[in-house]
Chain A
Amino acid sequence: MVLLFNIIFQVSDAISFLLLSAIGLAVIFGMMRIINLAHGEFITVGAYGTVVTAKMGLPLPMAMACGVLVTIIFGFILERLIIRYIYGRPLDSVVATWGISLIVSQSFLIIFGPSIEGLKSPLGSFQMGDYSFSEYRILLIFISFLILVLLYFLFMKSRFGTLARATIEKPITSSALGVDVQKVYTITFCIGAGLAGLTGALYIPTMTCVPSLGQAFIVSAFVSVVTAGASPFIGLVPAAAFLGSFQTGITFFYHATIGLIGLLFAVIMIIRFLPSGFSGLIKKGK
């Protein structure tokens, strides 16, 4: 029983990390095709927003909301100044977002110094057999799945989602049909930024607060979104589930280095043998 719970916890913990790493990128890269190398810095912005407001005395959930809000504003400004000029040039977006990432992480270093005092994980821990578990991390698992469900409904079922997907797919047609294309792009980008900020807000109580903290998410974010396939909100859960359990398994039997290498190999193989990703697999199944 304890063993079973332990295994479920470890696997879902790994999955929720992949999921939460990926949510913002799933919108910005998965939908909008901007190869956002500044994804990590969006996460950093959300995290710092949370920490700074929490230190000013806001209760944690409020502070997290502030973190998300700050990231949305940040995303809005970036969209206005830079991103809107590089839509449709996915490969050039690498350079622009790389530049943004350098500017942001170094500015954080200059403004806040090399590190600020972080937050403590909320809630406590509980014991089960030989093992003890952080309650907050278990909460994170549930939150990650909840967010995915909400995103699925927002982008796949709601009117806005249909509009956004249609506009991004065929901007000229949508424009002819009277859609304010620029506005849809801006809103979608801001949602993506806000989600990345949410990742930072949710994870910062478990991490060290340094300007480079977002980089820890970059690789997991990209591999999850790419293996998810063309419809990230359908494919993300199975992709993360597969990669997460694969990595956990290998790490369990060997060690973390092999686990990481195994994860990257799994990604290569998925792309090779499942070219349309997990969402393609699901659609085919239907």
Chain B
Amino acid sequence: MKNSYFIKNKFQTMTFLVLAMIPLFVDSYYVNNISFFMLWTFIALSLSLIWGKGGILSFGQAAFFGLAGYSFGVIGINFSGVFGVGIWSVLIALIITGIFGLIVGYFLFYGGIYDVFVGIVTLSITLVFETFMSQTAGPEWTVGIARLNGFNGMQGMPSIGVNLFGYNFEALDNKGYYVILALAVFVIYFLDKLANSKFGLVLSASKEDRLRVESLGYNVKRVHMITFAISAVLAGLSGILYTNWGGFITPESMGLVSAALPVVYCAASGKNNFFAVFLGTILLVWISQELAINGRQFALVFMGLLLVVATRYFPDGMFLYFINQISKFSKKLSRN
């Protein structure tokens, strides 16, 4: 079964193999930089699940991103030095985010909130987080020994790692790169399986006609709530990896811009296809970085043009179009 998945998606498997070889050829700066590109893919994938497959547009991914990042930091700082803490802080942060996602999902879908209203409610939640966290500069905003430190951001958290029996593993540089890559392979595999499971089919079907699926006896609300929680966890994973990467998290990660970015990554890439979103996000983050370096003041103009062109000419996603072209091309080659 597993084999057939990786063989069926040749281009995807090849891309992962290429990514796995990169650290053998380039120096640590580039490896770190690609880690940075890849860590954004999880938040984009989380939206691809809930929006691409489920048809529910959420601006709340940034809130989950920030919640997980802050939880990871708070737990890490408070229990640094305790038995293998670097890994527990990740798990606990993800659980917190998942539970919060479940609560929000319950509130939304069992309350009958759908369509664009989900977008506004989740946006409001994100902005509440941002506004609240921005004003936590004072010493009274301390969880255990972890200062939230308001707008200027929390820092000083230990990095993801395992410290067992004298064996010390920190997910930074090359090791961090492989951790992120492995997570990406796993997450995309998991999402593809999920989307093709009965659960996933109910999800996709209810995107077309929610009421009909409901009348067939499926509990659509529960499906949406669980999907929302899964997507919260994935967005949270990005938040943790980001916090780990920079040793730093600020409320800016939960602002208006951060809330819209995953939507942009998803839509420009092709929100229905997880692999396209993965690749598209990496390329978009990379392009925007290169533009900032070389484009000078025209960087944002180019970025904007790219997005406009993407939606104007590629309604199903620009990178999905490219991926399809490439696989078509390779099929043609193999036929000849």
Contacts and interface: CB of A to CB of B under 8 A. Distances in A.
A and B touch in the complex (CB under 8 A): yes
Interface of A: 33, 35, 37, 82, 85-86, 89-96, 98-107, 109-110, 215, 218-219, 222-223, 226, 257, 260-261, 264-265, 267-268, 271-273, 275
A100 B308 contact: yes
Interface in B289-314: 297-301, 303-308, 310-312
Nearest to B266: A95
Given A89-B315, A267-B120, A261 B268 contact: no
B307 A99 contact: yes
B263 A272 contact: no
B22 interface: no
A221 to B, nearest CB: 11
B107 A96 contact: no
B321 interface: no
A106 B304 contact: yes
B120 A86 contact: no
Contacts of A92: 267, 311, 315
A24 to B, nearest CB: 17
A257 B133 CA distance: 11
A106 B298 CA distance: 8
Contacts of B51: 91
Given A106-B300, A265-B124, A265-B128, 19 more contacts: A37-B260, A85-B311, A86-B311, A94-B267, A95-B263, A96-B311, A98-B264, A99-B304, A99-B307, A102-B300, A102-B307, A103-B305, A106-B304, A223-B124, A226-B120, A264-B131, A267-B120, A272-B113, A273-B111
Pairs A-B, 3 closest by C-beta atoms: A99-B307, A102-B304, A103-B304
A91 B120 contact: no
Contacts of A37: 260
Interface in B121-166: 121, 123-125, 127-128, 131-132, 135
B305 A226 contact: no
B260 A106 contact: no
A105 B303 CA distance: 12
Given A35-B119, A106-B297, A261 B132 contact: yes
Interface in B97-132: 107, 111-113, 116-117, 119-121, 123-125, 127-128, 131-132
Residue of A37, A82, A98 most packed against chain B (CB within 10 A): A98
Residue of B306, B307, B310 most packed against chain A (CB within 10 A): B307
A279 B12 CA distance: 49
Contact of A100 (B127, B132, B304): B304
A271 B315 contact: no
Interface residues of B, number: 40
A242 B287 CA distance: 44
Residue of B121, B124, B125, B135 most packed against chain A (CB within 10 A): B124
A257 B141 CA distance: 16
B256 interface: yes
Contacts of A95: 263-264, 267-268, 307, 310-311
B328 to A, nearest CB: 24
Interface in B14-58: 51, 57
A92 B260 CA distance: 12
B267 A271 contact: no
11 contacts: A35-B116, A89-B311, A95-B264, A99-B310, A215-B256, A260-B131, A261-B131, A272-B107, A273-B111, A275-B111, A275-B113
Given A223-B120, A264-B124, A99 B297 contact: no
B308 A99 contact: yes
Nearest to A273: B111
A85 B314 CA distance: 11
A264 B132 CA distance: 12
A267 B119 contact: no
A99 B305 contact: yes
Contacts of A104: 304
A103 B312 contact: no
Contacts of A273: 111
Given A96-B312, A106-B301, A271 B117 contact: yes
A99 B260 CA distance: 11
Contact of B260 (A94, A264, A265): A94
